[in-house]
Amino acid sequence: MTRKLEGKVAIVSGSGRGIGREIALKLASEGASVVVNDLDAAPAEQVVAEIRAAGGQASACAGSVTEAGFADRFVAQAIDGFGGLDIVVNNAGYTWDNVIQKMNDEQWEAMLAVHLTAPFRILRAASGFIREAAKREAAAGQEVFRKVVNISSVSGVYGNAGQANYAAAKAGINGLTRAMAKEWGRYKVNVNSVAFGLIMTRLTEAPADAEASIDIAGQQIKVGVNPQVLKNAEALIPLGRGGTPAEAAGAVYLFCIPESNYVSGQVLVCGGGRP
């Protein structure tokens, strides 16, 4: 354990399960205090308990990232509870697929809301603290770097059939990343994206039940991938398999450590070699 994030404070949206959970655990294991978020309170509290059991610091902030006022509450919990904010990971999200002729407005708007508007609001909520902290540090002759890691997808880089909504939102987050890298460079904030390929989570693995779904604001969203489709997808990955949530978290971690202080405005594809 290197403790490269000792004394840092992080917020990670959608971190009660899957990739987000592994990101929260990884950052905490390296010394960061973490505000864990999930749509449901129980998974968030479980991750907090795991972090505390390992000797780390964490608190839970349950709720939907798309709710009015959530962004301000999320950011304030880090600042009020742990005394600052150094790392923002915009990870929360899900997919709601359909070909365009069958896609309704609700599906389209839902993907933009969770994958693009919510990260925008969280960064906007953090902007006041970041600006003022950067000014104080500059006046004191200190160079303190902060990190933003936005989670994208290969669908947002290359497109994917049946995901016009998701691909558009994830392409949008890459645009937001590059814009914020330019806006916040003067504040010593590195802003980057990680675009995931096939990562094996409950949203992508072969479902045990053909009708498997998750509840999002009362809407039942089917999850999982047809086993044959999954097998075909893995066969095209040079490394021979889908990634694990821990491996996905490792890619995010790379953008959070001091070694990445001169890397900003980039989109890193984490896809086992497959574009």
Q: Which residues are catalytic?
A: 166
Place of tokens 């962004």: 71
Q: 4, 31 in Cβ contact below 8 A?
A: yes
Taking 3-state DSSP, the helix, strand and coil percentages for the chain, each rounded to the nearest 5, stand at 45, 20, 35
Alpha-carbon span 51 to 153, nearest angstrom: 27
- Residues 83 and 220: their CA atoms lie apart, in Å, by 38
The backbone torsions φ and ψ at residue 166, rounded to the nearest 5 degrees and listed phi first, read -65, -45
Tell me how crowded residue 105 is: count the other CB atoms within 10 A of its CB: 8
Which residue shows structure tokens 């016009």? 164
72 CA to centre of own chain? 17
The residue type found at 129 is F
The total number of residues written for the chain in this structure: 275
194 burial type by CB count under 10 A (0-12 exposed, 13-18 middle, 19+ buried): buried
Identity of the amino acid at 23: I
